[in-house]
């Protein structure tokens, strides 16, 4: 792949040399448009249990990832975010960490992690870890100490309170069902857990907690880790007076709890102090912070950037969850993040939400939806974060019976909430047993469609979803307008076709996406954007066309045309 020429901005040289002393493996080069490495990178989330199983025990592992670095490089991945691979009782499949500075033996060893980072370097691939900052496992030594007695020095590392009127301290519910408080008979107090009871919330108001977490952050940067995805940052703080949340009348969720407005335990302003603290550490190592930021509006999202002092890459789930092929809706959401001061971060799927081909497709058009929406989010201004397997069109494979469910929320909320097993199935590598993931029983069922949807078969098919992704990513990495260009929305009243221009120093790429199930014709007045010609040369298209007349573009249902206009 063509790599981009970079120049060093003199203003960054001093910081760069300081950084080099800490970690010579990372540099803070910026490109001529002033973009940093994470702005030009394509990120790819790997759920380590499910990506590749090197020792055939049915569970994916770090060496499995290592064995597929050539594939990731070929695909066009520049940075991999690994979901938690730390030691964990695995109640929440790794999001219950019992040691932040080690690797769970199921996934390998610290030496394997070091090797992965080193091999990644030779493939030009960086690694980002998943920092579970809101809570630990209840088996973390900190919590074991904390629960041992009311006087233990670590007692205040978590949120312990007396009960009220014979029950928990207030009405807060866990997002995973039931009260957010668990009673401990030994010390006669309750502790707070926004997620499972096995995930007690840390008390970030205690400076010792903050110090320990900042220390861990730096510890991994020194090992060559290039950043973190920050888990559940919205819920780091709770109202000190523990006021009851208002309830939403008569609205019951899948767990049978009455829904509440989480005004006292979600997105409290103090969160921003912690994010500034984490960022300060990150900046010493040229590292990036990605946020799991469930925002309700653009103002909230904008706050997470903190004017350049907090998260560089808060994920914009408002785009992720448009959930219908609606150009007006996408235009509105993309326009909103474009108008904000932050760098956009686009995600379509992850380990917590149903895969996008199922959310946007009608069951018969999944390949078309995969090509259409990947053409969108991989050509927008901003950084895309892919989810493993989307590039081969992997679908959700949800459990059919409650007894098959592994994700505890699926057992608790069945049948309304089926849990997240369906979007966490083993990666499909080839047509052999279990899609080439392992030959023993895999930890989670392989999607039966793997005979058609797998890396090997799709690599050989020029029209596959995989080859489409490969081509879009190649274009994204080599085309200056796509890398550095502005975003200009076009034909904004078109209800069927989403179109935009990406322009950089006189180079213009036009992206035209038919989001409807019928053929569409469209035309563009590009003269008002300083483009005189009306002939577009095709860069990538779902139809066979080398050139188009921009006054008369025809698109088949869900068709895509991307081309250069002068």
**Binding residues for Ca ion (CB under 5 A):** 53, 55, 57, 59, 61
- C-beta of 182 vs 351, nearer to ligand NOJ: 351
**From CA 137, how far away is CA 98, in angstroms rounded?**
5
Q: Which of 350, 384, 389, 385 is nearest to 366 (CA)?
A: 389
Establish if 125 lies at the interface with ligand NOJ (CB under 6 A): no
- C-beta of 61 vs 417, nearer to Ca ion: 61
| Cα of 440 vs its chain's centroid, Å | 30
Q: Where are any strands of DSSP class E within 33-161?
A: 43-46, 79-82, 126-132, 160-161
* Residue 252 interface partner, choices Ca ion, ligand NOJ, none, CB cut-off 5-8 Å depending on type: none
Report the nearest approach of ligand NOJ to the CB of residue 390 (Å).
Answer: 16
Whose CB is nearest to ligand NOJ?
A: 95
* Residue 195 interface partner, choices Ca ion, ligand NOJ, none, CB cut-off 5-8 Å depending on type: ligand NOJ
* Residue 232 interface partner, choices Ca ion, ligand NOJ, none, CB cut-off 5-8 Å depending on type: ligand NOJ
- C-beta of 437 vs 487, nearer to Ca ion: 437
Q: Scanning the structure block, which residue is given the tokens 């946007």? A: 360
Q: Which of 66, 138, 231, 310 is catalytic?
A: 231
Residue 470 is classified by DSSP as: H
Establish if 217 lies at the interface with ligand NOJ (CB under 6 A): no
- C-beta of 132 vs 322, nearer to ligand NOJ: 132
Report the nearest approach of Ca ion to the CB of residue 64 (Å).
Answer: 6
Q: Please confirm whether the linkage preceding 290 is cis (ω < 30° from 0).
A: no
- C-beta of 292 vs 303, nearer to ligand NOJ: 292
Establish if 285 lies at the interface with ligand NOJ (CB under 6 A): no
What does the per-residue mask of binding to ligand NOJ show for 43-82, with x meaning CB under 6 A?
----------------------------------------
Residue 195 structure tokens:
């997620």
- C-beta of 53 vs 292, nearer to ligand NOJ: 292
508 neighbors 481 (Cβ within 8 angstroms): yes
Q: Which of 550, 269, 254, 211 is nearest to 420 (CA)?
A: 254
Binding residues for ligand NOJ, how many (CB under 6 A)? 9
Residue 295 structure tokens:
């925002």
Q: Which of 148, 172, 153 is nearest to 258 (CA)?
A: 172
Residue 219 structure tokens:
């510890």
Q: Which of 292, 316, 367, 458 is catalytic?
A: 292
Q: Where are any strands of DSSP class E within 407-559?
A: 486-490, 497-504, 507-514, 520-522, 535-541, 547-549, 553-555
Establish if 417 lies at the interface with ligand NOJ (CB under 6 A): no
Q: Which of 255, 234, 96 is nearest to 174 (CA)?
A: 255
* Residue 59 interface partner, choices Ca ion, ligand NOJ, none, CB cut-off 5-8 Å depending on type: Ca ion
Establish if 232 lies at the interface with ligand NOJ (CB under 6 A): yes
Q: Which of 346, 437, 432 is nearest to 389 (CA)?
A: 437
* Residue 188 interface partner, choices Ca ion, ligand NOJ, none, CB cut-off 5-8 Å depending on type: none
- 3-state SS record for 313-331: EECCHHHHCCCCCCHHHHH
One-character DSSP codes across 148-178: H-TT-TTGGGB-EE--BTTB-SS--B-TTSS
Taking the CB of residue 409, how many other CB atoms lie within 10 A of it? Answer: 22
Q: Say whether 231 is catalytic.
A: yes
Establish if 352 lies at the interface with ligand NOJ (CB under 6 A): yes
Distances (CA, A) of 43 to 12, 288, 465: 24, 12, 18
Establish if 290 lies at the interface with ligand NOJ (CB under 6 A): no
- C-beta of 49 vs 155, nearer to ligand NOJ: 49
**From CA 270, how far away is CA 273, in angstroms rounded?**
5
Report the nearest approach of Ca ion to the CB of residue 103 (Å).
Answer: 12
Report the nearest approach of ligand NOJ to the CB of residue 291 (Å).
Answer: 11
Establish if 92 lies at the interface with ligand NOJ (CB under 6 A): yes
Establish if 266 lies at the interface with ligand NOJ (CB under 6 A): no
What does the per-residue mask of binding to ligand NOJ show for 176-205, with x meaning CB under 6 A?
-------------------x----------
- C-beta of 78 vs 231, nearer to ligand NOJ: 231
The residues binding ligand NOJ (CB under 6 A) are 92, 95, 132, 195, 231-232, 292, 351-352
Catalytic residues: 231, 292
């Amino acid at each position: 792949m063509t790599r981009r020429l970079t120049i060093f901005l003199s203003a960054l040289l001093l910081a760069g040399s300081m950084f080099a002393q800490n970690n010579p493996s990372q540099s803070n080069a910026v490109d001529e448009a002033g973009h940093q490495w994470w702005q030009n990178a394509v990120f790819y989330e790997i759920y380590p249990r499910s990506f590749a199983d090197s020792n055939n025990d049915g569970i994916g592992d770090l060496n499995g990832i290592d064995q597929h670095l050539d594939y990731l490089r070929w695909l066009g991945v520049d940075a991999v975010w690994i979901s938690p691979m730390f030691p964990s009782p695995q109640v929440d499949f790794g999001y219950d960490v019992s040691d932040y500075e080690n690797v769970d033996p199921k996934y390998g060893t610290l030496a394997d992690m070091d090797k992965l980072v080193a091999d990644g370097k030779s493939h030009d691939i960086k690694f980002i870890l998943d920092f579970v900052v809101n809570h630990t496992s209840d088996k973390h030594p900190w919590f074991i100490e904390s629960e041992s007695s009311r006087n233990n020095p670590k007692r205040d590392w978590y949120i312990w309170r007396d009960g009220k009127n014979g029950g928990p301290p207030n009405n807060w519910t866990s997002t995973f069902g039931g009260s957010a408080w668990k009673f401990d008979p030994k010390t006669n107090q309750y502790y707070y857990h926004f997620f499972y009871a096995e995930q007690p919330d840390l008390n970030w108001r205690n400076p010792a907690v903050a110090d320990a977490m900042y220390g861990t952050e730096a510890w991994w940067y020194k090992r060559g880790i290039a950043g973190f995805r920050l888990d559940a940052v919205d819920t780091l703080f709770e109202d000190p007076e523990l006021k009851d949340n208002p309830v939403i009348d008569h609205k019951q969720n899948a767990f049978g709890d009455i829904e509440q407005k989480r005004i006292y335990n979600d997105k409290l302003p103090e969160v921003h102090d912690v994010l500034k603290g984490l960022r300060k550490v990150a900046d010493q190592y040229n590292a990036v912070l990605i946020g799991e930021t469930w925002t309700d509006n653009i103002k909230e999202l904008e706050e997470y950037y903190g004017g350049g002092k907090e998260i560089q890459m808060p994920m914009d789930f408002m785009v992720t969850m448009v959930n219908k092929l609606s150009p007006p809706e996408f235009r509105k959401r993309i326009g909103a993040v474009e108008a904000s001061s932050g760098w956009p971060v686009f995600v379509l799927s992850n380990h917590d939400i149903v895969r996008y081909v199922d959310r946007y497709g009608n069951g018969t058009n999944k390949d078309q939806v995969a090509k259409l929406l990947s053409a969108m989010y991989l050509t927008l201004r901003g950084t895309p974060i892919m989810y493993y397997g989307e590039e081969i069109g992997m679908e959700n494979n949800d459990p059919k019976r409650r007894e098959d469910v592994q994700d505890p929320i699926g057992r608790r909320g069945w049948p309304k909430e089926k849990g997240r097993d369906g979007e966490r199935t083993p990666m499909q590598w080839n047509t052999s047993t279990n899609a080439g993931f392992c030959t023993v029983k895999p930890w989670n069922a392989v999607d039966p469609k793997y005979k058609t949807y797998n890396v090997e078969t799709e690599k050989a098919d020029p029209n596959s979803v995989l080859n489409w992704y490969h081509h879009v990513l190649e274009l994204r990495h080599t085309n200056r307008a796509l890398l550095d260009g502005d975003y200009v929305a076009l034909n904004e009243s078109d209800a069927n076709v989403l179109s935009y221009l990406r322009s950089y120093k006189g180079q213009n790429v036009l992206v035209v996406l038919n989001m409807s199930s019928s053929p569409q014709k469209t035309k563009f007045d590009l003269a008002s954007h300083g483009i005189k010609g009306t002939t577009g040369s095709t860069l990538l298209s779902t139809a066979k066309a080398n050139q188009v007349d921009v006054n008369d573009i025809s698109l088949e249902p869900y068709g895509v045309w991307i081309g250069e206009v002068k």
